Amino acid sequence: MIVANEIELARYCIEFAIKSGASAARLSLNKNVMDAYTILNGELDKVSHSADRSIYLYLYVDGRYGTFSTNRLEKKEIEDFISQAVVMVRMLGEDQLRRLPDADRTAKDATTGLELDLCDATYESYSSEERLERAKSMSRFKAYAPTPEYTVLSEECEYAESSDDTLLIDSQGFEGRHRETSFNCFSEITIQDKEGTRYSGYWWEASPSRASLEIENCSAKALSRAAGQIGPQNRRSGRYKMVVDSTVASRLVSPILNALNASAIQQKMSFLEGSSGQKMFSEGLTICDLARTPGKAGSRMYDTEGVATADRTIIDNGTVREYFVSTYMAGKTGFVPTIEDVSRPCLMPFIRGCKLAESKKDVSLKDILAICGNGIYVTGFNGGNCNPVTGDFSFGIEGFAFSKGKITHPVKEMLITGNIMTLWNSLVAAGSDARTSSRWQIPTLAFENVSFSA
Amino acid sequence: MKNYYLNIFKVCENELESLMQTALGAGGDYADLYFENTTYFNLMLKDGTVSSGGFHTDFGVGIRVLKGEKTGYAYSESTEMSDMLAAAKAAAMIAAGQNTTKQYQKVIDKVQDFYPMQLNWREQGADKFVPFLKELEQEVFQKDNTIVKVIARMSDSVSDVMMYNSLGELTYETRPMGSVTVTAVFQRNGATENKTASRSYRIGAELIGRSLIEELAGEVVKGIDARFEAKRPKGGKMSVVMGAGASGILLHEAMGHAFEADFNRKEQSIFSEKMGQRICPEGINIVDDGTVANNRGAGNYDDEGVPGEKTYMVEDGILRSYLHDRISAQWYGVKPTGNGRRENFRYNPIPRMRATYMESGSADPEGIIASVKDGIYVDEFSNGQVKIGEGDFTFFVKSGYLIENGRLTMPVKDINIIGNGPQALSDIVAVGNDMRIDNGTWTCGKEQSVPVSCGIPTILVSSLTVGGE
């Protein structure tokens, strides 16, 4: 973790920047350690250890602005670095809108970095041998005997533990701290069916807490996802209902959140320009930014400017309530400044035509498949893109056909194509099954009338 | 020259030896050190002003120990001996309790300089590049009066790299990279479109000049009329003519990744059992090349100290070579091909592509288009992806045209294309005589980001699945 003399170094950097001619400055000091292990087919294949320490400096000089970073933190080198940075900023164009956020908007309650309970106190207590043993415990390769349907060719399991500590300070006196630990496991399985065709599947888990990381079934879930793809069938092009699994549903949310960023709007690179306060999406689509939920990955007390986060509603029953507006973009656009980007988006459960608040019912994947009846259940996206200006998208998909609420067979080589606004206005349901391990809390989603090509 | 690098990293040759002994202290077969000192510089013009920019320094040493094919890796951001020894001990852990012994081979050779710098980026100031970006912006605005925004960016990096390994091979070099990207936003009759053009080379600051401005400004407005007219085609399987240049993304996604030898060593690739077999029609040669002068993927050495080379993956339609780092080369009993690359000293090297392209064939490109009754022509792309095991790949088409009765007709845009690697390669039915490498800012993201490039002549693939409505 960041120690006292490093905090003093960070403060000195700010002082030195001001003394060197900067009118204002902000600095982020980050330290990270990580240990990672890869187990290939039951045997240790790779072990890596890393320890990083760097500073990132934001300088405001004579109405000009620049950003600089270095991992060479000896005092003399830092002084040369800052002096050169000030000289360079003076060569850039003037932009008086570049400034620190108003001091009263910055977080005052992030003093230890532990406020959000994202740091596992046991992190330091484990030896590398214990971590290695945990990694080895993930592997099931030697237990995977050939079946009549397939043979496991390869199993790759990765286990990583990391600890991250960031100090953010500025020349107005703001000091904020964010600390978190992360425990991750990932398994990828490659199998071959009796015809010689290969299929692969993966699974992962992540948690800020060592004890709550579920590693036991990671490999088995990856195998299940690989084996489930055996025997894909062609499906005809057409319009189908589409259910998107919670493991990948964030892919359809990110174009919306990107389009709500004031920077994109100001540069005319957003299909949601002029949407503030407007009902742009179907009734029932509600996305909140629950930035301050203790113990949940993605939570943070402040953004990279130091501006205090708060739990906010971004889209409320289809109506856009918030843009993401940094201090600079507030000056450029005239929008009220908020925070610069989303922290922990949570999409709320919804079933068209059903008042969930009254029923208080959890909405599962099974429920949603039953609601939709027939269609394509998407479990993965394979490439594709969404045009940020128009919202037109085209994505490769993998998944299954389903009928009468039951999965029938895997599909292959399919694409979905459309416009992201049209898609979200076709929302039929959203589950309450977002993965707890994900920073983005996006559940299973269902849309109707989606164009599939095959 | 050697002393220049030893001085940058504040080490002497005795210390390199001492680190090597520590790294191999637990019984490793092979160890290497990768010292890196990189300086990055960037500027961005928005709303008529170059109002943001900066520089960044990254310094450190990565230490790798191999025991057979197993890897131990650690790095230090300091070259103080105590810090480096701690990293060496951490990397050495991989060998503990392992009994196998493998002999790694020496490969150092005399190399050419594929990217001499006439003007060192480190000796230039921002004052040289600010006027360049403004001139670029003005040139773009002058090309089309429907442009409402121009965003222009330039960046450069210079990396001092020194590598030493337990075979006694000491190599060092300085690697430049310069990139310029311009995006224009157009508005016509209430509709908005944007278009981006970029160039990136391993070259010095001589890149920055009038000819580059004219090239980028011309490209960023080229085809914008069609972009406004473009529609989504009807989706489904169809013939696809891939225009020369950027269509090389097909090779990168459909086969390049699946030829990276780590995936094959682990039996994860669909091409794992196809060495020596026909995978394309006769006459097709597919290359991964680290020797294209000033190319974004060029390397005098790879990041394991292996000299860059031109590697024929496919010769006359037959799979001849995977892309190897030292580990896979040792596993397969072949010479490493110079494909061991890494993002920076924080990462261990793995097999990666460089400049991947198909050599020219003999067909007339216009004749290829004329041969298609119903299909699609594509020539501008953004991103791609592949599933290594299944071979299913996709790439995203930013612009193209329908082909109807041998003629380009309706413009199309924003569609994804999906196919299967081995099937797509065997479905190549015509290869043009116009091979061109695309020099945009291509970056490959397999675990780590590394600069690459791709190229291809005009080709016809008889069947791919095209997204549409």
Tokens representing residue A14 in the block: 């700010």
DSSP track, B156-217: EEEEEEEEEETTS-EEEEEEEEEEEEEEEEEEETTEEEEEEEEEEES--GGG-SHHHHHHHH
Q: Residue A59 pLDDT > 80, yes or no?
A: yes
Predicted confidence at residue A49, as pLDDT, reads 93
What are the chain B neighbours of A95 within 8 Å (beta carbons)?
Answer: 49, 51-52
Averaged pLDDT for residues A106-118: 97
Number of H helices, E strands in chain A: 10, 17
| DSSP E strands, A273-365 | 287-289, 312-316, 319-320, 345-347, 350-351
Per DSSP bridges, beta strands B459-466 and A287-289 are: unpaired
**Confidence category of residue A91, pLDDT binned at 50, 70, 90:** very high
Distance CA A172, CA A60 (A): 12
Predicted confidence at residue B253, as pLDDT, reads 86
Q: Do A384 and B90 touch (CB under 8 A)?
A: no
**Confidence category of residue A325, pLDDT binned at 50, 70, 90:** very high
Predicted confidence at residue A358, as pLDDT, reads 56
A31–chain B Cβ distance below 8 A for any pair: no
Residues 6+ apart with CB under 8 A from A133: none
A–B CB contacts, 8 A cutoff, strictly below: 229
Distance CA B442, CA A375 (A): 37
DSSP track, B52-106: EEEEEEEEEEEEEEEETTEEEEEEES---HHHHHHHHHHHHGGGTT------PPP
Predicted confidence at residue A93, as pLDDT, reads 94
In 3-state terms chain B splits into helix, strand, coil percentages (rounded to 5) of 25, 40, 35
Single-letter amino acid, residue B136 = L
Distance CA A453, CA B410 (A): 19
**Confidence category of residue A412, pLDDT binned at 50, 70, 90:** confident
Q: Residue A357 pLDDT > 70, yes or no?
A: no
Q: 3-class DSSP state for residue B125?
A: coil
Predicted confidence at residue B270, as pLDDT, reads 86
Q: Give the ipTM of the model, two decimals please.
A: 0.91
Pick among A6, A415, A416 to test the B interface (most B CBs inside 10 A)? A415
**Confidence category of residue B467, pLDDT binned at 50, 70, 90:** confident
Give how far the C-alpha of residue B218 lies from the chain's centroid of Cα atoms, to the nearest Å: 24
DSSP track, B441-467: --EE-SSS-EE-EEEE--EEEEEEEE-
A50–chain B Cβ distance below 8 A for any pair: yes
Q: 3-class DSSP state for residue B222?
A: coil
Distance CA B94, CA A48 (A): 9
* Lowest-pLDDT choice from A278-287, B97-106, B151-160: B97-106
Alpha helix positions (H), A228-349: 250-259, 262-266, 327-333
pLDDT, tens digit, for every residue of A297-311? 999 999 999 999 999
**Residues A202 and A168 sit within 8 Å (Cβ to Cβ):** no
A360–chain B Cβ distance below 8 A for any pair: no
Q: Residue A411 pLDDT > 80, yes or no?
A: yes
Q: Residue A395 pLDDT > 60, yes or no?
A: yes
Closest CA to A405 of A349, A447, A450, A365: A365
Distance CA B338, CA B290 (A): 8
Q: Residue A228 pLDDT > 90, yes or no?
A: yes
Q: Residue B201 pLDDT > 70, yes or no?
A: yes
Residues 6+ apart with CB under 8 A from A143: none
Rounded to a whole number of angstroms, the distance from the CA of B32 to the nearest CA of chain A is 14
Q: What is the mean pLDDT of chain A?
A: 95
**């012994």: which residue's tokens?**
B101
Question: Domain coordinates of chain A in residue numbers?
Answer: 4-227, 238-453
A186–chain B Cβ distance below 8 A for any pair: no
Rounded to a whole number of angstroms, the distance from the CA of B322 to the nearest CA of chain A is 19
Predicted confidence at residue A171, as pLDDT, reads 98
Predicted confidence at residue B468, as pLDDT, reads 81
For helices B210-221 and B126-143, the axis angle rounded to 10 degrees is 40
**Confidence category of residue B389, pLDDT binned at 50, 70, 90:** confident
pLDDT, tens digit, for every residue of B396-420? 898 999 999 999 999 999 898 999 8
What Å distances lie between residue A432 and A245, A320, A358, A440, B151, CA to CA?
A: 12, 21, 15, 13, 41
pLDDT, tens digit, for every residue of B416-435? 899 988 899 999 999 999 99
Positive or negative, the CA dihedral B405, B411, B416, B422 is positive
Give how far the C-alpha of residue B256 lies from the chain's centroid of Cα atoms, to the nearest Å: 11
pLDDT, tens digit, for every residue of B46-101? 999 999 999 999 999 999 999 999 999 999 999 999 999 999 999 999 998 777 77
**Closest CA in chain A for residue B125:** A88
H/E segment holding residue A178: strand A175-193
Q: Residue A359 pLDDT > 70, yes or no?
A: no
Averaged pLDDT for residues B353-362: 97
Q: Enumerate domains of chain B plus CATH numbers.
A: 121-159+176-223 (3.30.2290.10), 236-466 (no CATH)
Tokens representing residue B367 in the block: 């004749």
Residues 6+ apart with CB under 8 A from B29: B66, B67, B68, B95, B101, B102, B103, B104
Predicted confidence at residue A361, as pLDDT, reads 72
Closest CA to B164 of B256, B63, B81, B73: B63
Q: Let me know if A362 is exposed, middle or buried by CB neighbors in 10 A (0-12, 13-18, 19+).
A: exposed
Distance CA B207, CA B50 (A): 19
Name which residue leads in pLDDT, B212 or A382: B212
pLDDT, tens digit, for every residue of B287-342? 999 999 999 999 999 999 999 999 999 999 999 999 999 999 999 999 999 999 99
May I ask the CATH class of domain A4-227? alpha beta
What are the chain A neighbours of B419 within 8 Å (beta carbons)?
Answer: 413
Name which residue leads in pLDDT, B29 or B266: B29
Overall residue count recorded for chain A in this entry: 454
A227–chain B Cβ distance below 8 A for any pair: no
pLDDT, tens digit, for every residue of A202-223? 999 999 999 999 999 999 999 9
pTM above 0.95, yes or no: no
Predicted confidence at residue B107, as pLDDT, reads 77
Single-letter amino acid, residue B453 = S
Closest CA to B303 of B252, B352, B261: B352
Distance CA A221, CA A219 (A): 5
Give how far the C-alpha of residue A154 lies from the chain's centroid of Cα atoms, to the nearest Å: 28
For chain A, percent of residues with pLDDT exceeding 90: 93
Pick among A26, A41, A48 to test the B interface (most B CBs inside 10 A)? A48
B424: DSSP letter: H
Out of B71, B77, B420, closest to residue A46 by CB: B71
pLDDT, tens digit, for every residue of A179-204? 999 999 999 999 999 999 999 999 99
Tokens representing residue B398 in the block: 């930013």
A162–chain B Cβ distance below 8 A for any pair: no
Distance CA A64, CA A95 (A): 6
Distance CA A325, CA A332 (A): 10
Pick among B390, B397, B447 to test the A interface (most A CBs inside 10 A)? B390
Closest CA to A257 of A379, A414, A439, A383: A439
Out of B382, B389, B396, closest to residue A200 by CB: B389
What are the chain B neighbours of A153 within 8 Å (beta carbons)?
Answer: 267-268
H/E segment holding residue A162: strand A150-170
Q: Residue A76 pLDDT > 60, yes or no?
A: yes
**Residues B350 and B342 sit within 8 Å (Cβ to Cβ):** yes
CA Rg value for chain A: 25
Q: Residue A80 pLDDT > 60, yes or no?
A: yes
Q: Residue B469 pLDDT > 80, yes or no?
A: no
